[in-house]
Amino acid sequence: MKSPRAELVPHMEHYTFVLEDQPYIGFFQYGNERTPVYSTDSCGFRVTHTTDGTATVADGRPPGPVRLLAGSSSVFGVGASGDHATIASRLGSRHAPGLPWLTFAGQSLNSAQELMLLTLFQHLLPEVAEIVVFSGVNNLVLSRLPAAQHGRHGAFFECGPAPDASAVPAPAERIAHATALTVRHLGGWRLLARALGARLTFVLQPLAPWVREEPAPQEKALFDELDDVSNWRRLHNDIASMEVGRAYAAALREGCAALGVPFVDMNAELGAATGPGDWLFVDRVHCVDAGYDAVARVLAGRLGTS
């Protein structure tokens, strides 16, 4: 008998999460990867589909102007059945195709590493008209680590062992810490966006328990299977509630307002735009094709782009 994951999302076996060690950003996708579900360019950025074909950061760049969707694994499109189904591809091929979109993302990045991507690869970009930073979850996840692992710019994945549950800060403290880092680094995005002449928006990415109280049937089967083989529930149950999601969104909204950067809470938006039985997530962080398409549709509406 097949497991729910093997039966419902067999393509997930091709997301191996094997990354290449890279200076400054820690790790990134290998360049020129070709798998049954995703492809990367020579620098490791995922291929994006547009109305005029495909586009990437390093190879086959559109002449510009372009729009950047920046972030971590959700922007990379973990869970999508192919390059055509990522958020940037759905924006560029259907929901907001007026300008090409580029998938500007790695995996398991914090907000400092996401910002560093732009400083390291801006020389490859054509004219940029718009930047959407689609982020927030990883900083909150990493906020459970001890202060000694945070340094001056925030902890990163694989920087040290996880603490005992008794040493994990309370959710309110974690929200404050993650918000401070996210807003600080968003200030860097704002400076660079202004220099590029690009419009900047920050979007709090969706986390399944922040979108709705009860998962869809397919999601429940997948989540239960993952909980049997991983420590996600044990490590992150304290932030996996609607209350924490709304509090985090409120704090980020206030921080974005202070910077003058538009803010979108994709959790509330996605919950309002979809039904309780709609299958959106492959795990609590990443979506299936229908989920990424819904995110792209909602995002295009909030951005007012075409």
Least confident of 30-44, 85-99, 155-169, 214-228: 155-169
> Binning pLDDT at 50, 70 and 90, where does residue 148 land?
low
Residues 154-174, buried b or exposed e (16+ Cβ, 10 A)? Answer: bbbbeeeeeeeeeebbebeeb
pLDDT of 219? 98
pLDDT of 146? 66
pLDDT of 17? 83
Domain count, the chain: 1
pLDDT of 143? 80
pLDDT > 70: percent of the chain: 94
pTM: 0.96
Strands 101-105 and 263-265: unpaired
* Closest-CA residue to 250 (of 165, 162, 306, 179): 179
Residues 23-37, buried b or exposed e (16+ Cβ, 10 A)? Answer: eebbbbbeeebeeeb
Residue 96 is classified by DSSP as S
**For residues 250-260, average pLDDT:** 99
**For residues 87-113, average pLDDT:** 97
pLDDT over 60 at 159, yes or no: no
Q: pLDDT tens digits for 181-233?
A: 999 999 999 999 999 999 999 999 999 999 999 999 999 999 999 999 887 77
Burial of 181 (0-12, 13-18, 19+ CB in 10 A): buried
pLDDT over 60 at 297, yes or no: yes
Which residues span the domain enclosing 147? 4-303
pLDDT of 215? 98
pLDDT over 80 at 234, yes or no: no
pLDDT over 70 at 163, yes or no: no
> Binning pLDDT at 50, 70 and 90, where does residue 158 land?
low
pLDDT over 90 at 52, yes or no: yes
Instruction: Return d(Cα 233, Cα 242) in angstroms, integer.
Output: 15
More confident residue, 61 or 206: 206
CATH number at residue 103: 3.40.50.1110
Distances in whole angstroms, Cα of residue 138 to Cα of each of 50, 96, 105: 28, 27, 13
Token readout for 149 is 């692992």
